């Protein structure tokens, strides 16, 4: 049985603007974990979170947050390559993660730069994250690097292949750095799920899902969820799975299908 974590920036909005109330609604729907985007929402399409209220809701319900986004989003490869805001935000994000008990911070690559070779940019990205890991050493927080699709949602992103995220993680070479495998993004890119998971191995630190096409809840698209969760299990992944989708119906209704599939996976 997989532990599912609905994203409280996308799901359970029926509970209102309060993310704390969305946690309570998720728990009422049968979950003991959630995930979220940026805690302060500095550059995400969501409202800022009342962190004391969110912590109180977690303590009240016993729920946990499995992952949060790094802030701000950074264009690492675009000149003048000033990464100071990223490193400052990383310190703040790690402190918030420790306060809320969040074990993972999701990081990305930003847009690729046409004036530099792809391999050079991947190596630069690895160096950026080696420094980032050294900066938050001792925090207990793991950084998970997410490749995203460029065909639909993130045109121009540098990192769109799972194998290249694996390469960067191998170069960083830290137990506190790995990859986030988003099955929706991978499917949009036409990747072989089982092969990519096998290649990632122990570097796979987190998983997110949505159906394709449409990025709706599992069951609204063409993905065979029994088979795909079987691929995850075959690859040895037994961690949480974030539900990062745009619901097409009431949140509590939208999760029922994947809850049934995950219970048997």
> pLDDT tens-digit profile of 98-132?
999 999 999 999 999 999 999 999 999 999 999 99
Calculate mean pLDDT across residues 226-251. 98
Q: What is the pLDDT of residue 37?
A: 95
Calculate mean pLDDT across residues 45-73. 94
DSSP per residue over the chain, as a string?
Answer: -PPEEEBTTTS-GGG-S-HHHHHHHHHHTT-SEEB-S-SS-SSSSSPPP-HHHHHHHHHHH--EE--EE-SS---TTSTT---HHHHHHHHHHHHHHHHHT--EEEE---B--TTS-HHHHHHHHHHHHHHHHHHTTTS-PEEEE----TTTT-TTBS---HHHHHHHHHHH--TTEEEEEEHHHHHHTT--HHHHHHHHGGGEEEEEE--TTTS-STTSSS--HHHHHHHHHHTT--S-EEE----SS-HHHHTHHHHHHHHT-
> pLDDT tens-digit profile of 173-206?
999 999 999 999 999 999 999 999 999 999 999 9
Nearest residue to 5 (alpha-carbon basis) of 24, 27, 31? 31
Q: How many domains does the chain have?
A: 1
Q: What is the pLDDT of residue 233?
A: 97
Confidence at 43, pLDDT banded by 50, 70, 90: confident
Q: Which two tokens stand for residue 146?
A: 């997410």
Calculate mean pLDDT across residues 10-18. 97
| Domain that residue 140 falls in | 4-263
Calculate mean pLDDT across residues 51-72. 97
End-to-end Cα spacing for the chain: 5
Confidence at 44, pLDDT banded by 50, 70, 90: low
Calculate mean pLDDT across residues 65-77. 96
Q: What is the pLDDT of residue 18?
A: 96
Q: What is the CATH number of the domain that holds 88?
A: 3.20.20.150
What is the average pLDDT score of the chain?
97
Q: What is the pLDDT of residue 45?
A: 65
What whole-number distance in Å separates Cα of residue 134 and Cα of residue 248? Answer: 42
Q: What is the pLDDT of residue 47?
A: 77
């Amino acid at each position: 049985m997989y532990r599912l974590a609905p994203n409280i920036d996308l799901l359970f909005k029926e509970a209102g603007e309060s993310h704390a109330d969305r946690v309570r609604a998720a728990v009422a729907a049968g979950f003991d974990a959630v995930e979220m985007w940026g805690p302060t929402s500095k550059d995400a399409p969501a409202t800022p979170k009342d962190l004391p209220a969110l912590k109180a809701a977690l303590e009240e319900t016993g729920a946990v947050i499995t992952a949060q986004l790094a802030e701000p989003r950074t264009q690492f490869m675009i000149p003048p390559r000033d990464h100071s805001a990223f490193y400052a935000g990383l310190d703040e994000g790690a402190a918030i993660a420790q306060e809320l008990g969040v074990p993972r911070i999701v990081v990305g690559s930003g847009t690729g730069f046409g004036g530099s070779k792809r391999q050079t940019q991947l190596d630069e990205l690895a160096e950026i994250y080696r420094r980032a890991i050294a900066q938050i050493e001792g925090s207990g927080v793991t950084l998970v690097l997410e490749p995203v699709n460029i065909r639909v949602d993130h045109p121009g992103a540098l990192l769109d292949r799972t194998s290249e995220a694996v390469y960067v993680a191998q170069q960083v070479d830290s137990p506190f750095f790995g990859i986030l495998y988003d099955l929706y993004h991978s499917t949009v890119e036409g990747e072989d799920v089982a092969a990519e998971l096998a290649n990632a191995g122990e570097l796979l630190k987190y998983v997110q899902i949505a159906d394709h096409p449409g990025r709706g809840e599992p069951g609204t698209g063409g993905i065979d969820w029994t088979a795909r969760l079987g691929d995850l299990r075959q690859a040895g992944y037994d961690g949480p799975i974030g539900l990062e989708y745009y619901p097409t119906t009431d949140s509590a209704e939208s999760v029922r299908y994947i809850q049934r599939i995950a219970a048997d996976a």
